[in-house]
Chains A and B, each alone.
Chain A
Amino acid sequence: MNAFDVLWQYRQAFFDGLVVTCELVILTAVGGSIAGIALEWACTQFGGHLRRGVDAVAFCVSAIPALVILFWFHYPAQAMVGVVVPPFWTALTTLLIINVFAVYRIVADAVQDFPKQYVAIGMVCGLKRTHIIRYIQLPLLLRSALPRWVDQQVVILQTSVFASLIGVEETFRVAQRINSVVYHPVVIYTSMALIFLATAGGGMYCAQILRSKFHRDLSER
């Protein structure tokens, strides 16, 4: 039995697992991106203390391993408040928190690195504020932030396998369960590798293309 035979025989189970993984990653990507951008916007608007606070939390979240945060939410946090949350939502909350602060950091860095001179040029050339945002700031910020954003979503996809440890029926957990039935670890985990190569690898390749396409040499000779 080779990897493709296993994939075919348990296609429904793998498909269900992939759906759960996709739900986790897509909800995290969309929610995290919106909230991360909103957080950066709020910090720009209200500045000072808010930014310092958000920076401190972002630092802590990026320093603590995802697995520790996941387990903290799964056991102590729920015990403290006396609630039982389904594992899927616990995993989603963990991934969302990680992604919100990561996207915040990506956008904040892009905004911070943006040369103010480009805006000033637009102003003295008579461009309206909306034109400057639409034609100068947004395209340049997107070019700067997009490759890092894609990389971050790949990290989220890879981190989502930890959800299997708290019982979320995502791809990796499905693979483990199939392995416990058929016991073909080489074949099963090769299948997993192929699935992640196709998804995470595709994302990484996409980020690389974006980086080479958009990260042109911005210096002027």
Chain B
Amino acid sequence: MYTLEHVMKSYGANVVLKDVNCRIPLGGLVTIMGPSGAGKSTLLRLLSFLETPDFGYLHLQLDAHHFDSRKGEKPWPKVTLVFQRQFLWPHLTLRDNIALPLKTAGLSNICSRIEDVTNLFDMSSFIDRYPNEVSAGQAQRVALARAFALEPQVILLDEAHFGLDLEQQKTLNDHLIALRDSGVALIVVTHSLDFARKFADRIVVVENGSIAELGGQVILKNPASAYLRRAVGLSEVGSKGC
């Protein structure tokens, strides 16, 4: 469970998040939605503990472990983040990208773990290539596999569907669902209302730097936030048009 109390985050004079108060239960798939520049990615970076709030605090409870942003404790790699872009180290092969965190963690069964995730994410045909030699979808899959190989409890994904074609999006969705079903909590920043409708257990709507709405699928039926009302309205117009 994430608890955010009076969280504020700014970059210079630009206040990105202002007085965010919410509780985000872990488990299943949570989508973070909102217009561009609303503060979704900043919220995700805070949830990953890569950044700390300027004011307020962020608390994460993972089983018996507690992580508090004020104490500087980091939950990595129990909580890990898959970035929107530049998510693989370019000087390492895809196999080494997955292996490096495992090796430095001093794990013993590295080869079998890599084989497992290679098969799970269907990467055997390109696992020994470099990141610049594969498609965006394949690279996204490797980044997800690298995160999964670390056996995290929470994976955060920033704009997971960015730059992927429909087929790649479907493949990614299949993997995300497989991860969710395996017990990994997923928090995904997305613009895809369709994705939220199909797969989200909870939806967080960020608007103007604060949490405008948080709830289950029901909020898609009766949206309270301006952004979600617009998004749902547009998708209905689109479906009638078809």
B52-60, B109-117, B128-136 - interface stretch: B128-136
Q: Give the residue name and chain of the A residue nearest to B155 (CB).
A: A124
Q: Is the CB of A220 within 8 A of B89?
A: no
Chain A-chain B contacts (Cβ-Cβ < 8 Å), number: 77
A59-67, A84-92, A132-140, A197-205 - interface stretch: A132-140
Q: Is the CB of A220 within 8 A of B85?
A: yes
A99-107, A114-122, A162-170, A182-190 - interface stretch: A114-122
A-side interface mostly? helix
Q: Is the CB of A118 within 8 A of B86?
A: yes
Is A81 located at the chain interface by the 8 A CB criterion? no
Residue in B76, B87, B90 whose beta carbon sits within 8 Å of that of A140 in the complex: B90
Instruction: List 17 additional A-B contacts (Cβ < 8 Å) besides A135-B100, A220-B85.
Output: A117-B83, A117-B85, A121-B81, A122-B89, A122-B101, A124-B50, A125-B76, A125-B146, A125-B150, A126-B76, A127-B104, A131-B104, A139-B91, A140-B91, A143-B91, A216-B130, A218-B132
Chain A residues near B131: list those with CB within 8 A: 220
Q: Is the CB of A220 within 8 A of B132?
A: yes
Is A12 located at the chain interface by the 8 A CB criterion? no
Q: Is the CB of B90 within 8 A of A128?
A: no
Is A42 located at the chain interface by the 8 A CB criterion? no
Chain A residues near B48: list those with CB within 8 A: 124
Q: How far is the CA of A2 from the CA of B51 in the complex (A)?
A: 70
Q: How far is the CA of A115 from the CA of B74 in the complex (A)?
A: 22
Q: Is the CB of B135 within 8 A of A221?
A: yes
Q: Give chain A interface residues in 135-169, CB to chain B under 8 Å.
A: 135-136, 139-140, 143
Q: How far is the CA of A92 from the CA of B104 in the complex (A)?
A: 44
Is A113 located at the chain interface by the 8 A CB criterion? no
